């Protein structure tokens, strides 16, 4: 199972070079699950993917102007979406259940703080998303733009980083991407789901003319030695 997570920094419908770059790099890496943020409904990765999509943003929302087709979070899945799960904010996070070769998995894609890691939106999202993760009584793949860096510069603060790491630890969740330096994009899964499996994590550097975030990829496979 290969998982991509990326913040594509608000592509507009007429930005053909950027759209082509995004679609090409995603297709080249051929992931089973794709979590995108700051995205646009114009993006298309082919008929093999099912899709969960947060609400399209109105032209003016939360003191910011948005353009045609923009939304905050989309999940593309080669596994059929068996059920969509309601979240506290349909603009900021989405959730749904799939069945994989390793069993059922609840997908949860989000932005924690759509304007960065230091305002009230961030605090509200972090609080509400922790509650929702705790209430999902199943194996979870939680991925998004957390606006938290666990390695390198501790953003937004050492306290937030420490508290968030403890939250995941207390809920038996592993941050597969925590060693990616100065990276706010993360993929988190249950330790139980990862049992008897091996995983790899890498980060692909992206030219800043296309996105202000790098792309992360995690790949999970059965441990054949078991």
Q: How confident is the model at residue 54 (pLDDT cuts 50, 70, 90)?
A: very high
What per-residue confidence (pLDDT) applies to 42?
95
Q: Residue range 99-127: average pLDDT?
A: 95
H-helix or E-strand spanning residue 192 = helix 191-194
User: Is the confidence at residue 225, as pLDDT, over 70?
Assistant: no
Q: How confident is the model at residue 58 (pLDDT cuts 50, 70, 90)?
A: very high
What per-residue confidence (pLDDT) applies to 139?
96
Q: Residue range 117-129: average pLDDT?
A: 95
What integer best gives the mean pLDDT of the chain? 96
Cα distances (angstroms) measured from residue 101 to each of 34, 79, 173, 221, 222: 17, 10, 20, 10, 10
Domains contained in the chain, CATH given: 2-222 (3.60.10.10)
User: Is the confidence at residue 1, as pLDDT, over 70?
Assistant: yes
User: Is the confidence at residue 226, as pLDDT, over 60?
Assistant: no
Cα distances (angstroms) measured from residue 84 to each of 2, 75, 81: 21, 11, 7
Residues in the chain: 226
User: Is the confidence at residue 17, as pLDDT, over 60?
Assistant: yes
Measuring CA to CA, which residue among 125, 65, 137, 66 is closest to residue 97? 137
What per-residue confidence (pLDDT) applies to 122?
96
**pTM for the whole thing?**
0.97
The 10s digit of each residue's pLDDT in 131-187 is 999 999 899 999 999 999 999 999 999 999 999 999 999 999 999 999 999 999 999
């Amino acid at each position: 199972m290969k998982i991509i997570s990326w913040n594509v920094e608000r592509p507009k419908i007429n930005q053909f070079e950027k759209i082509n770059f995004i679609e090409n790099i995603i297709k080249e890496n051929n992931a089973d699950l794709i979590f995108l943020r700051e995205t646009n409904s114009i993006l298309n990765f082919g008929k093999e993917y099912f899709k969960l999509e947060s609400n399209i943003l109105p032209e003016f929302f939360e003191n910011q102007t948005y353009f045609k087709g923009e939304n905050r979070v989309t999940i593309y899945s080669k596994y059929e979406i068996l059920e969509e799960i309601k979240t506290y904010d349909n603009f900021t996070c989405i959730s749904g259940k799939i069945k994989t070769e390793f069993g059922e998995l609840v997908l949860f894609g989000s932005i924690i703080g759509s304007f960065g890691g230091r305002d009230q939106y961030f605090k509200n999202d972090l609080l509400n998303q922790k509650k929702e993760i705790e209430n999902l009584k199943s194996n979870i793949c939680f991925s998004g733009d957390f606006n938290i860096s666990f390695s390198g510069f501790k953003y937004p603060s050492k306290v937030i980083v420490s508290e968030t790491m403890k939250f995941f630890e207390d809920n038996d969740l592993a941050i597969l991407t925590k060693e990616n330096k100065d990276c706010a994009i993360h993929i988190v899964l249950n330790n139980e789901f990862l049992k008897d499996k091996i995983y790899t994590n890498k980060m692909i550097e992206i030219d800043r003319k296309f996105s202000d975030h790098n792309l992360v990829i995690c790949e999970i496979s059965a441990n054949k030695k078991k």
